[in-house]
């Protein structure tokens, strides 16, 4: 018997909506909302269209409050011969790690103080990802870390709305302006980061660093929630709906394959040799739960190399390039992870706030408790496990 898919679809759709009618109650809801919103106001439909208008907000917020804190001096705690083969810059900036008592809240803390919406310290249940961090680490080539903290001066608490149907302040919908990604240029002179303050949108900034001091922020791309700088610093892969490879000055060089219209790229990893990019795409159910994830690999010029369309829903929060060129996809859902420039290890801040180093053969070494990013002791993450 021939199965008529087209007819089956029409029949199923008709059956699904049979009896559904728009109610007077819904009209009353619409009317009540409309009465509170003046006509002729410029609409702010949530979505990609408003990012340009929001760029000024982002820039203002960044200029007002972002602190690139000199985070952790990686002075070797184990003074073993050979460990200091890459000494890094002079220790003048490195020895003053952020005092724990003044450290800004980390990912678990959210926007500081009384303006935090109630219950915001609770992670979303089950199907969602962990909360987006408002502070993040970048790892310099010499092993030092730079910390970017958006919440330090309560930028997030003062800024932005989600899904707001009008322009009136709605404090309960304020968002913690969170970090999508953060990366440091190969020479350590510039830091790039993306924000994800509005729903799934963001702006990428480039910050010039003088030592560890932030010189200034410059928006580079809008519609960018994730980015990663190639190890040699020649390219930046960045993503929102599209996945692009650009020069650091913003020139687009290539586009990477996104086979379906609803797979959103949300994690990017360069191979140590800077020729390939592993990236994860996620599709969502309408209610926001993850529908599926795919891990793909492509050359930087956009040539697709491989895809695993059956990645587990929570896979790919951390990916490492193995020395043999293969990929190791880690399960779990850490808040953030960064792989060293040589691909030898991945630094993972787990959801419990603990810092781990994961080596090339999968060994997981807890480094120290970094809850709320209050660093207890500096440690040399270049040392062997």
Question: 26-55: which residues touch other proteins (CB under 8 A)?
Answer: 26-27, 29-31, 33-34, 37-43, 45-47
Going by C-alpha positions, the residue among 333, 345, 342, 343 that lies closest to residue 380 is 345
Q: Where are the alpha helices (DSSP H) in the chain?
A: 5-17, 24-36, 51-65
Site string for other proteins, 239-278 (x = CB under 8 A): ---------------------xxxxx--------------
In the complex with other proteins, the residue whose CB is nearer, 123 or 248, is 123
Nearest distance, CB of residue 95 and other proteins, angstroms? 35
**Closer CB to other proteins, 50 or 208, in the complex:** 50
Residue in 91, 285, 312, 369 binding other proteins, rule: CB under 8 A: 285
Q: Say how far apart CA 256 and CA 357 lie, in whole Å.
A: 30
Which of 61, 72, 103, 175 binds other proteins (CB under 8 A)? It is 175
Report if residue 150 touches other proteins, rule: CB under 8 A: no
- For residue 83, the SS3 value is helix
User: Of the candidates 113, 115, 163, 304, which one interacts with other proteins according to CB under 8 A?
Assistant: 163
Cross-strand bridge partners of residue 135: 149
* Nearer CB in complex with other proteins: 97/281: 281
- Is the Cβ–Cβ distance between 116 and 157 less than 8 Å? yes
Could you tell me if 381 and 137 are in contact, meaning their C-beta atoms sit under 8 angstroms apart? Answer: no
CA distance 177 to 154: 9
Cβ closer to other proteins: 198 or 380?
198
**C-beta of 222: minimal distance to other proteins in Å?**
16
Segment interacting with other proteins, rule: CB under 8 A, options 2-10, 142-150, 229-237, 337-345: 2-10
Query: How many residues of this chain bind other proteins (CB under 8 A)?
Result: 77
Q: How many C-beta neighbours within 10 Å does residue 6 have?
A: 7
Instruction: Report phi then psi at 113, rounded to 5.
Output: 75, -160
Question: Residue 306 to residues 3, 178, 296, 303: CA-CA distances in angstroms?
Answer: 34, 31, 6, 10
> Where do we find the tokens 């140590």?
272
Residues 114-133 that bind other proteins (CB under 8 A): 117, 119-132
User: In the block, which residue shows the tokens 């519609």?
Assistant: 223
Phi, then psi, of 298 in degrees rounded to 5: -145, 160
CB of 41 to other proteins, least distance (A): 5
- Quote helix, strand, coil % in the chain, to nearest 5: 15, 30, 55
Task: Scan residues 197-226 and list those touching other proteins (CB under 8 A).
Answer: 197, 199-200
Nearest to 205 by CA among 341, 56, 334, 340: 56
Closer residue to other proteins, CB minimum distance, 22 or 210:
22
Binding mask 71-110 for other proteins (x = CB under 8 A): ---------------------------------------x
Q: What's the min distance (Å) between Cβ of 183 and other proteins?
A: 20
Minimal distance, residue 35 CB to other proteins, in Å: 8
Of the listed pieces 87-95, 113-121, 137-145, 187-195, which binds other proteins according to CB under 8 A? 113-121
Q: Residues 181-200 vs other proteins: string with x where CB under 8 A? A: ---------------xx-xx
CB of 252 to other proteins, least distance (A): 19
Alpha carbon distance 284, 328 (integer Å): 24
Q: Compute the distance between CA of residue 53 and CA of residue 48 in angstroms, rounded to an integer.
A: 10
Q: Is the separation of the CB atoms in 273 and 235 below 8 Å?
A: no
By beta-carbon proximity to other proteins, the closer residue of 37 and 63 is 37
């Amino acid at each position: 018997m021939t199965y008529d898919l087209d007819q089956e679809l029409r029949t199923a759709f008709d059956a699904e909506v049979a009896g559904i009618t728009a109610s007077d109650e819904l009209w009353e809801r619409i009317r009540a909302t409309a009465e509170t919103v003046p006509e002729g106001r410029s609409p702010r439909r949530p979505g990609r269209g408003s990012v340009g208008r929001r760029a000024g907000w982002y820039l203002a917020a960044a200029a007002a409050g972002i602190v690139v804190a000199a985070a952790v001096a990686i002075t070797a705690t184990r003074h073993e011969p050979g460990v200091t083969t890459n000494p890094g810059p002079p220790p003048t900036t490195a020895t003053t790690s952020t005092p724990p008592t003044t450290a800004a809240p980390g990912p678990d803390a959210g926007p500081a103080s009384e303006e935090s919406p109630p219950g915001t310290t609770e992670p979303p249940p089950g199907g969602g990802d962990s909360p987006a961090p408002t502070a993040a680490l970048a790892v310099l080539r010499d092993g030092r870390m730079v910390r970017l903290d958006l919440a330090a001066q309560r930028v997030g608490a003062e800024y932005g709305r989600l899904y707001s149907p009008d322009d009136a302040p709605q404090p309960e919908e304020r968002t913690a302006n969170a970090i999508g990604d953060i990366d440091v240029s190969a020479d350590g002179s510039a830091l790039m980061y993306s924000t994800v303050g509005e729903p799934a949108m963001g702006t990428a900034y480039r910050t010039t660093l003088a030592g560890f001091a932030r010189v200034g922020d410059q928006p580079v791309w809008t519609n960018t929630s994730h980015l990663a700088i190639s190890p040699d610093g020649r390219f930046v892969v960045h993503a929102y709906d599209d996945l692009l490879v650009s020069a650091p000055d913003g020139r687009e060089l290539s586009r990477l394959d996104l086979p379906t219209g609803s797979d959103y790229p949300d994690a990017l990893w360069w191979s140590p040799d800077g020729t390939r990019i592993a990236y994860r795409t996620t599709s969502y159910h309408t209610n926001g739960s993850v529908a599926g994830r795919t891990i793909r690999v492509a050359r930087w010029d956009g040539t697709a190399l491989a895809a695993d369309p059956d990645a587990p829903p929570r896979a790919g929060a951390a990916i490492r390039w193995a020395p043999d060129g293969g990929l190791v996809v880690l399960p779990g859902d850490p808040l953030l992870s960064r792989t060293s420039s040589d691909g030898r290890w991945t630094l993972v801040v787990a959801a419990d706030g603990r810092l781990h180093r994961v080596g090339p053969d999968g060994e997981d070494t807890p480094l120290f408790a970094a809850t709320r990013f209050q660093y207890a002791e500096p440690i040399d993450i270049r040392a062997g496990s």
